[in-house]
Amino acid sequence: MTEPAELGPRKAAILRAVVEEYVRSGEPVGSETIAEGSNLGVSSATIRNEMAALEELGYLSHPHTSAGRVPTDLGYRCYVDTLPQGLRLRDAQRRAISGFFAETMLDLEEVLRGTTQLLSRLTQYAGVAVPPRLTDETVVRVEVIDLGPTLLVLVVGQHGAVEKQAIDRPADLTGETLEGVGRRLDTLRGLTLPEAQARALRLAGETPGTEREVLIAVAEALGDMQAMPRGTHVLIGGVSNLASEAAHWRRETMRHMIEALERESEMLMLLQDVSGPQEDMSVTIGTEHPSTGEWDASVVAAPFRSGDQALGTIGVVGPTRMDYVSVMASVRAVAKRLSELATELGA
Amino acid sequence: MTEPAELGPRKAAILRAVVEEYVRSGEPVGSETIAEGSNLGVSSATIRNEMAALEELGYLSHPHTSAGRVPTDLGYRCYVDTLPQGLRLRDAQRRAISGFFAETMLDLEEVLRGTTQLLSRLTQYAGVAVPPRLTDETVVRVEVIDLGPTLLVLVVGQHGAVEKQAIDRPADLTGETLEGVGRRLDTLRGLTLPEAQARALRLAGETPGTEREVLIAVAEALGDMQAMPRGTHVLIGGVSNLASEAAHWRRETMRHMIEALERESEMLMLLQDVSGPQEDMSVTIGTEHPSTGEWDASVVAAPFRSGDQALGTIGVVGPTRMDYVSVMASVRAVAKRLSELATELGA
DNA sequence: GTTAGCAGTCGATCCGTACGAGTGCTAAAC
DNA sequence: GTTTAGCACTCGTACGGATCGACTGCTAAC
């Protein structure tokens, strides 16, 4: 909508300087600071004029008359969009990432849990990760296990995701029946979850008696697994970082934020809304998304893949006033390494 | 150590009144307030004397000269210990609990997840739950699944707990080998995890070739599952309640607290330390435990059982200044209902 | 178009005062 | 001996006013 080009190079430079200074100091920045710190050869008065113009255009705002300027969400957006691509990580960060991925980890969920912590440590904000949805994978095994009072349906995805759901146990169930069911369910291997469900239903149609009953229940369970992303828990790490970093946030704001992080469905929607299908990385700033708008938060997210198949999303949630350069570099680097690992792990 | 009896009935009554008033109002309570509110027929001067004595004994403390009294951890302890047993829930709470358990839920972990939310809603603090450790259960099924690049060991416990761990896949693995392994592992049914591990090792000893290799890896995985309570994730719900309720906590305190809640191992230790083996319910107040001492928190916990076998623990974490009567009533009631459900579910 | 200078604005800070809640003590009353 | 009334004292908190200082926005000169 607003091409940064039309700002002109000097306005752009000033906006950039304001954002960076504000992110650094946390305090509204005045024209003097910019005139001194930045090496445009102009005086503070000129900067003032430009800043007034930037405010007019909606990129900056004014807490009160005698204060400096603060970037608006639009200002951050422009800043982020015009960022040069060559993002460098600090050595310590690079080492932290390498160290993490040097550990041998075989279970993807475990890796993701660690990834949220890693991201949180790298950025000082909260790290999030959405594990692969079983829906997108093919099924490697469907198993029905007799627990006595109930039956347990176990579905294993190709990348090692395990989904379980209990179903009712028919009173007249025998071991043979269960074996029969097991044999039939073996044919689900290699299907996607919806396909598996359809096949299970079809199998049920061809089968009489108790076995049929169980198969129908299994099909229902397979349906539930798709419909409700129950197993798709969003992994979160480092909420405590937010509590300290965000020292200037209002208490209520923080409450809302932690609440939102707890609501898995909300985070899930946020991260899914946020990660455009083809994009490499997405940044959502404050009011650009209703959820984050409420609590002055931004989300930097990137997908990770196995080969060319998108598996899930990782990201960082922090205040709108965050160090986008560093965060984006971290998320990108971690996503890249994670994709490599996932590819190697679950080819 | 300190029998409340030796306080004398009046001191005890005053202590009780101070605790209740302080919990209610959140502000240091003065002698006048007690004299008026409570119906001991004595004047504020007498109360003052008694309060000075209680302070001397360590049950109360003084933020500063011209302020009222505040209970110490010891004061809360005495208050809790002398609580009458007849704890009543408010109707709304009773209904919330019944409503929750009226939903049909078949998966214990799902129930526990909901339980943390329920406890949090009932008490306005954070709810926690420790699911059954697989170690204590008997194994219903051990399965090795070929995921291509790795193998996945799946262990199902009698109550439906599922533990998974990836192991290396020998290069020369064939489907037959895997079937052989599977047949041997069938004999693990009904054993406890340590027994199963021993049996797996023994099986490995009796078996040659690749099969042996896999069995050894499985035994290792079974060992890992006992050693590291990796699957024993502590479930937590309602952290946001703490963020708002604890409006008077220092920011750093809150950061520490959320951090501690995030460290599963710490919470696990806390909850395990806290739940005495035979006790019905335990209350840990502030400095009584090193972890909670750091952040002025208390933990009210109760075990839940299936039949007479202890499965896990549920509890509530909140500020030392909490409404112990209500929280204890809630935790006790939920633990009772949960035990009934678990008994019915996993006889 | 840029810059220096200057008046004006408005929040933040500091300080002195007054207030009031609550204690602790003492002396009288029961 | 215990309880109570009275009172001086302490000490945090709220209030108000003056000052400070950081910026801006404007104007006039370059």
- What pLDDT was estimated at residue B275? 66
Considering only residues B50 and A256, tell me which one the structure prediction assigns the higher pLDDT. B50
CB atoms within 10 A of CB B263: 14
Contact check, Cβ <8 Å, A154/B156:
yes
Bases of chain C within 7 A of a CB of the protein: 2-5, 8-11, 20-26
Does A345 contact B at CB distance below 8 Å?
A: yes
pTM greater than 0.85 (yes/no): yes
Average pLDDT for chain A: 88
Please report, rounded to whole angstroms, the spatial distance between the CA atom of protein residue A54 and the C1' atom of nucleotide D19.
Answer: 33
Indicate yes or no: strand C within 7 A of the C-beta of B32.
yes
Question: Which residues 105-124 of B are in CB contact (within 8 Å) with A?
Answer: 106-107, 110
Least confident of A250-259, B35-44, B142-151, B328-337: A250-259
pLDDT surpassing 80 at residue A57? yes
In chain B, which residue's Cα lies nearest the Cα of A261?
B240
State mean pLDDT over B53-64: 93
- What pLDDT was estimated at residue B277? 60
CB A320 within 8 A of CB A293: no
pLDDT per residue over B248-260, tens digit each? 677 777 888 888 8
Widest CA span in chain B: 88
Contact check, Cβ <8 Å, A244/B262:
no
pLDDT per residue over A86-118, tens digit each? 778 999 999 999 999 998 776 788 899 999 999
Please report, rounded to whole angstroms, the spatial distance between the CA atom of protein residue B252 and the C1' atom of nucleotide C12.
Answer: 25
Bases of chain D within 7 A of a CB of the protein: 3-6, 9-12, 21-27
Separation in Å, CA of A196 to nearest CA in chain B: 18
Does B65 contact A at CB distance below 8 Å?
A: no
Alpha helices in chain A (DSSP H): 9-25, 31-37, 44-57, 73-81, 91-102, 108-123, 175-185, 193-205, 209-227, 239-245, 251-262, 264-274, 290-294, 324-345
Does B231 contact A at CB distance below 8 Å?
A: no
The secondary structure of B118-149 as a DSSP string is HHHHHHSSEEEEEPPPGGGSBEEEEEEEE-SS
Pairing of strands B126-130, A139-146: unpaired
The token duo for B265 is 């191992």
Closest CA to the C1' of D3: that residue is B46
State mean pLDDT over A198-227: 91
Please report, rounded to whole angstroms, the spatial distance between the CA atom of protein residue B322 and the C1' atom of nucleotide D1.
Answer: 39
SS3 call for A39? coil
Contact check, Cβ <8 Å, A240/B230:
no
pLDDT per residue over B185-196, tens digit each? 999 999 999 999
Residue of A156, A166, A255 lying closest to B107 (CB–CB): A166
Residue of B162, B254, B262 lying closest to A154 (CB–CB): B162
Instruction: Give me the sign of the Cα torsion angle A91, A97, A101, A105.
Output: positive
Amino acid (1-letter code) at residue A239? V
Strand partners, A152: A145, A166
Q: How confident is the model at residue A277 (pLDDT cuts 50, 70, 90)?
A: low
In chain A, which residue's Cα lies nearest the Cα of B147?
A158
CA–CA gap between residue B6 and residue A332 (Å, rounded)? 66
Q: How confident is the model at residue A230 (pLDDT cuts 50, 70, 90)?
A: very low
